[in-house]
Amino acid sequence: MLSAVERKIDQFINDLNDKEVSLLYTKLPHGKRLRAKLILKIAGSNLSVVKTAAVVEMIHAASLLHDDVIDDAYTRRSKPSLNALYGNKTAIMLGDILYSKGFLELNNISPEVAKIVSNAVVQLSLGELKDVSLSKTFNIDKEIYLDMIYKKTASLIEASAGAAAVLAGKPKDAYLTYGRNLGLAFQMIDDLLDITSDSETLGKPALHDFVEGKVTLPYIYLYELLESEDQKRLVLLHAKVLSKEEQAWIMQKMDEHQILLKCYTEAKELIDEAVELMNENGEEALSDIAQEMIDRNF
Ligand code: FPP
Ligand code: MG
C-alpha cells in the first residue's frame, strides 16, 4: 500500500533527527509516486518491498531537486521548487541527504536489489550530464537522444521493476524490459507536454525545453522533415528566448508535419509492447500503470 511507503519515507527522514530536514521535506510535492506504485504492483507489500519503494522514491526526489537547480526551474508540479523557495545550496544538500539516506537503507534490503538500484543511479547521473552537454548543441541524432533519456529517466523505472521482480521471485528480464519501455515512453510524453501544455498548466514557459537548448524528439523529427531553409531557421532559434511569432512558427511547422502525433504514437507503441509482454507473463494488472505513464496532461 502506498501509505505504507509514505510512512516508511517519513520514518527514514525522522531517523535523521534534524528539524530543518524534516521541515524542508514537507515542502516537497509528492508527485504520483509512479515508481513506488510499480514496485508494489509487482511485488506486493512486505517490509522489503515497502523499503525498496521508499528508497526509490527518495532517490527520485533527490534527482529532481538537483535537476531543478541544473535546469534553473522555479516550479515543480505547478508549485515553487525548493531552489526557488530556499536557494540552490539548500536544494542540493536536501538532495544529497535524501540520496545518501536512501543508499544507507538500501544496504538493509538485499545485495541484488542494492546492485540494481545503485547501478540505475549511476546511469541516471550519466544521463543528466549527457542532457546538459547535449543542450549546448543542436543534436539531430535520435539514437543519442534515446540513449540519454534511457539513462536519465528509464534506468530508474527499469530498476524499480527489476528490483521488484527480484523481491517477488519473478523472472527479472521481462520486468526490466517492461520498466525500460515505460520509462522511455514517460520521458517522450514529458518532452511532448513541454510543447503542448500551456505555461500555466506546466508551471514553466512555453517551449521551455527548446529555449533551454534541449532538442527533444519532436524537434529532431521536425528538423528531419523541414526544407533546408526552414531547417536553418530552426537551428537559429535553438537555445534562444523566442518571440510570440517565433513560437507560433515552430508550432505551425509541428502541426503541418504532424510531429506531435508521430511522437505520441511512438510512445504508445512502447507502452503497448510493455503491456503485451506483461500479459504474456500473466500480469494483466500491470497494464493500468503503463497507461498512466502516457495518460498525463502535466
Ligand atoms: C528530469 O529531467 C531529470 C531526471 C529524470 C534525472 C535527474 C538526475 C540527476 C540530477 C542525477 C543526480 C542523481 C541523484 C540521485 C542525486 P527533465 O528536466 O527532462 O524533466 P522535468 O521536466 O521533470 O524537469
Ligand atoms: Mg528538469
Residue 269 domain flag = no
282 belongs to a structural domain: no
**CA–CA distance, 187 with 26 (Å, rounded to integer):** 26
Cβ–Cβ < 8 Å for 50, 178: no
Rounded distance from Cα 95 to ligand 1 centre (Å): 11
Structure confidence at residue 289 (pLDDT): 86
Q: How far is CA 31 from the centre of its chain?
A: 11
Residue 42 in any domain: the answer is yes
Place of cell 519515507: 9
pLDDT reported for residue 295 = 77
Is 82 domain-assigned? Answer: yes
Q: Closest ligand 1 atom, CA of 191?
A: 19
Ligand with smallest separation from the Cα of 63: 1
Instruction: Find the mean pLDDT for residues 39-45.
Output: 95
Rounded CA separation 258/261 (Å) = 6
Express each pLDDT in 160-180 by its tens digit: 999 999 999 999 999 999 999
Give the chain's mean pLDDT: 94
pLDDT for 1: 83
Find the domain containing 94 and state its range. 1-109
Specify if 33 maps to a domain: yes
Q: Which residues line ligand 1 (CB under 6 A)?
A: 59, 62-63, 66-67, 71, 73, 95, 99, 121, 124-125, 128, 152-153, 190
Per the structure, how many domains does the chain have? 1
**Does residue 123 belong to any structural domain of this protein?**
no
Does residue 87 lie within any of the structural domains? Answer: yes
User: The domain spanning residue 70 has which CATH number?
Assistant: 1.10.600.10
- Convert 94-154 into a string of H (helix), E (strand) and C (coil): HHHHHHHHHHHHHCCCCHHHHHHHHHHHHHHHHHHHHHHHHCCCCCCCHHHHHHHHHHHHH
Q: What's the gap in Å between 228 CA and the centre of ligand 1?
A: 34
Nearest CA to ligand 1 atom 9: 63
pLDDT at 298: 46
pLDDT in tens, 66-122: 999 998 889 898 889 999 999 999 999 999 999 999 999 999 999 999 999 999 999
